[in-house]
Amino acid sequence: MDLSLTEEQEMLKKMARDFLDREAPKAYVRAMEEDERGFTPETWEKIAGLGWLGLALPEKYGGSGGGFLDLCVLLEEMGRALLPGPFFSTVLLGAYTLLDAGTEEQKKEILPRVARGERILTLALTEPSATWEAQGVQLKAKAKGADYVLDGTKLFVSDAHVADDIIVAARTGRSAKPENNVSLFLVSGKAPGVTTTVLKTIASDKQCEVVFDGVAVPGRSMVGALNKGWPVVEKTLQRAAVAKCAEMVGGAQRVLEMTVDYAKQRVQFGRPIGSFQAIQHYCANMVTDVDGARFVTYEAAWRLQEGLPCAKEVSMAKAWTSEAYRRVTALGHQIHGGIGFTKEHDMQLYFRRAKAAELAFGDADFHRERVAQQMGL
């Protein structure tokens, strides 16, 4: 297993960093926290023009046929820049799910438009129970002839307020096992009966409550087979967890760089604070966390891309990286001192996103339980 980047991935990394430094400075990040949409159409068009939305899509659907590792390289740079917008929800939660389970008609209709930046997607999974397990899916889909009617509420749906299509996990029957009788439906974000409310979150990351009140859905809009939706969701969650780890690695790397630079420049008691042992040990702990997170993340991404068994590795990566990113930002705050806690400083942007990412797709305790199960405990 070689985890070093290929020449093409190095080029992608450099191009992404140059673009994001230019087009998504921290002033843009701050402005988009207050923006109703959370991104600008101009930046979205530029991202589509670079081919990033179709990076991991097959060429026959308008993509460039890249792999999941390529996408993780790009996401690491996006996490470093704190890029706002619906890239993650469109590509990781929407397009990949359609690739896994959608009909050929659904793929041909939607995926080329995703690649061109003309269609925004998301996945509506979690509900007021806030669990990432199958029993949390309680939104009901009742059959009405060949069609279905959806009733229920989804919470923490990323970018639902701007989504053209929402892939909705719904319960289509009763079973002793909650993994059974879950089906997926492709629903227009503007369908009658769909009400979307943007929630106020710690990261200002445009998570939404979506209420489905008698929403009529044609039977042909089902994604995958009836009552067989949960295995599709599990695969999506695995991929999303690793992708979120890649974002976190990028953010943690930037916090490390900011903090080391500050420790070299900040003078106290007549010498740079980086010359004090306590600060040196803090920075050593930070780089250990960052590099450790990167290694476990890319190992999980490689196994996932290669189709190898990876449930344990994915959960190990998410459990470790979730807490590592938070530890890195906390130590960064400590080293920066008072200035790092001000709203004008960039540290708070990373800290808030670290806390949000920690909970996304299962927190560390959730994934430690998964690791223990894989060990037969």
Specify whether 367 is located in the same domain as 246.
Answer: yes
The answer to whether residue 155 sits within a structural domain is: yes
DSSP assigned state of 342: S
Rounded Cα gap, residues 261 and 223, in angstroms:
49
Output the average pLDDT for the chain: 95
Rounded Cα gap, residues 102 and 349, in angstroms:
37
The answer to whether residue 358 sits within a structural domain is: yes
**pLDDT surpassing 90 at residue 134:** yes
The answer to whether residue 333 sits within a structural domain is: yes
- How many structural domains compose the chain? 3
Specify whether 239 is located in the same domain as 367.
Answer: yes
Instruction: Name the band, by pLDDT with cuts 50, 70 and 90, for residue 4.
Output: confident
Domain boundary residue, one of 227, 256, 279 = 227
Specify whether 312 is located in the same domain as 239.
Answer: yes
The answer to whether residue 1 sits within a structural domain is: no
**CATH code at position 99:** 1.10.540.10
Instruction: Name the band, by pLDDT with cuts 50, 70 and 90, for residue 338.
Output: confident
* For residues 112-139, average pLDDT: 95
What is the domain extent for residue 69?
Answer: 7-120
Burial 76-108 (b: 16+ CB within 10 A, else e): bbbbbbbbbbbbbbbbbbbbbbbebbbeeebbe
The answer to whether residue 2 sits within a structural domain is: no
Helix (H) or strand (E) holding 306: none
The answer to whether residue 307 sits within a structural domain is: yes
Specify whether 146 is located in the same domain as 106.
Answer: no
Instruction: Name the band, by pLDDT with cuts 50, 70 and 90, for residue 1.
Output: low
DSSP assigned state of 6: P
Q: What is the pLDDT of residue 18?
A: 97
Q: What is the pLDDT of residue 174?
A: 86
**pLDDT surpassing 80 at residue 170:** yes
Q: What are 104's two structure tokens?
A: 């050929």
Specify whether 54 is located in the same domain as 186.
Answer: no
Q: Which residue has the tokens 């923490």?
A: 156
Q: What is the pLDDT of residue 2?
A: 67
**CATH code at position 299:** 1.20.140.10
Q: What is the pLDDT of residue 281?
A: 98
Q: What is the pLDDT of residue 176?
A: 83
Specify whether 109 is located in the same domain as 153.
Answer: no
**pLDDT surpassing 70 at residue 228:** yes
Specify whether 249 is located in the same domain as 278.
Answer: yes
Domain boundary residue, one of 227, 242, 276 = 227
Specify whether 235 is located in the same domain as 222.
Answer: no
Rounded Cα gap, residues 221 and 110, in angstroms:
12
Specify whether 271 is located in the same domain as 307.
Answer: yes
Burial 226-249 (b: 16+ CB within 10 A, else e): bebbbebbeebbbbbbbbbbbbbb
Specify whether 365 is located in the same domain as 244.
Answer: yes
* For residues 248-270, average pLDDT: 96
Specify whether 126 is located in the same domain as 116.
Answer: no
> Is the pTM above the cut of 0.85?
yes
Specify whether 113 is located in the same domain as 132.
Answer: no
* For residues 326-354, average pLDDT: 94
**pLDDT surpassing 80 at residue 200:** yes
**CATH code at position 142:** 2.40.110.10
* For residues 333-349, average pLDDT: 92
For residue 18, the Cα-to-chain-centroid distance in whole angstroms is 22
What share of the chain in percent tops pLDDT 90? 95
Domain boundary residue, one of 197, 227, 257 = 227
Q: For residues 249 and 293, is the Cβ–Cβ distance under 8 A? A: yes
